[in-house]
Amino acid sequence: MSTVVIAGGAGEIGRALAHAYAADGSNVHVVDRSDAAEAVAADVGGTAHIVDTSDPASAAVFGGIGEIDTLINAVGVWPTLSVDELVPEKWVSLARINFDSGYHAVWGSRAGLRATQGSVVNIASAIALKGHARMVHYAAAKAGVIGMTRSLALALGPDGVRVNAVAPGLVATERNLSVWTPEQRAEFRATRALPIDLTVNDVVDSIRFLSSSAARAITGQTIVVDGGTVLH
């Protein structure tokens, strides 16, 4: 039985990943600062760890899990803020969540990943490639995630550990669908090479591919899952 650890496992993508891996028979660990991780873990017969991964001390939680076949870093928050609103204190706080948390997880998991020659998949963002006037903090942090992914692939590759990333575009999550108007959805589709809505499953399927043996020769790469928005 493989062990899959999902940091940010109480979010919508994290929940979908937990159910998908559990359906495959994996032992799923759900890591999140929200108590909702308990319910997600209970639903899939997994284990919950309530911890703030932006805190360096969280690395100890990952180190205590043992052997890890797949680590997924799905932690992220993306409030829209103007440059004037993005005061230095908010910049530091958001960077800890969107960037530092991923390194804390990998660092804490390194022994467990080496033991299995496992795989890491980080969730970046297509915004890291395009930029966004009101998400400077998020674009910068996720660009950092892409650079970290490449560098960790080089650092851990000699131990047989693969490190990749998925960079989603704007996904039609339950929350987004509840607030988007039909006109907004049409506008989003118009920015893409493919006239489609991006679903949670589109992201989940890409992550599962990168963590699978089908991607055994792929490391240090970022798959952009945005329907072609970055081409515009």
Active-site residue list: 138
Rounded alpha-carbon distances, angstroms, from residue 209 to 1, 104, 119, 198: 18, 24, 11, 17
The SS3 of residue 223 is strand
> Cα(179)–Cα(176) distance, rounded to whole angstroms?
5
Sheet holding 162-168, edge to edge: 47-50, 27-32, 3-7, 70-73, 119-123, 162-168, 222-225
Q: Which of 44, 54, 41, 55 is nearest to 10 (CA)?
A: 41
Residue showing tokens 């089908």: 214
Which residues share a beta bridge with 162? Answer: 119
The SS3 of residue 47 is strand
Taking each helix axis as running N to C, give the angle between helix 36-44 and helix 12-23, from 0 to 180 degrees, rounded to the nearest 10.
20
